[in-house]
Amino acid sequence: MKYEYAPDLQVISDEISQLLFPHVKLGRVRCFRSYGTSSRGTIARCHTIGKLIQKALNTDAFYVLEFISERFDKMDSEEQIKVIIHELMHIPSTFGGGFRHHDHVHEGNVEKNYRTYKLLKDGGEDGERKSFFRF
């Protein structure tokens, strides 16, 4: 396996996090492309440092989003955004080094988050970003 930092995906991941997942600490998530996988059907993975290793190293949680180039790069941009959202959804609101599982991270919730992302990113009919958090 070969790993390469993916600054293009980092920018998208950071934007999605700012709009949808404010609990994500932008400086503690990195995006990488991987090449040469032997896994079947996997498009992307979310990795973290386990809590014991965090304690041993006296460090906070850190997450790595891995995008398998052979599959991810062939997808259209909409599907790529959904994959990035899917991987970010695995990061729990505590940002403590654990994972949200597929009972929460599933196609229905990814689709809801994708629609919200598009609304927030593209804005409404007047072209301005809308906030769902204003009352």
Side-chain-side CA neighbours of 7 within 13 Å: the count stands at: 0
Query: What's the domain range around 44?
Result: 2-122
Query: In this structure, is residue 60 part of a structural domain?
Result: yes
CA distances (Å), origin 70, targets 32, 33, 63, 121: 13, 9, 22, 28
- Whole-prediction pTM: 0.88
How far is residue 121's CA from residue 2's CA, in Å, rounded to a whole number? 33
Query: In this structure, is residue 134 part of a structural domain?
Result: no
Query: In this structure, is residue 129 part of a structural domain?
Result: no
Q: What is the domain count for the chain?
A: 1
Query: In this structure, is residue 130 part of a structural domain?
Result: no
Query: In this structure, is residue 70 part of a structural domain?
Result: yes
Query: In this structure, is residue 81 part of a structural domain?
Result: yes
pLDDT tens figures, 46-98: 999 989 999 999 999 999 999 999 999 999 999 999 999 999 999 999 999 89
Task: Please name which of 31, 13, 24 lies closest in space to residue 117, comparing C-alpha atoms.
Answer: 13
CATH number at residue 62: 3.30.2010
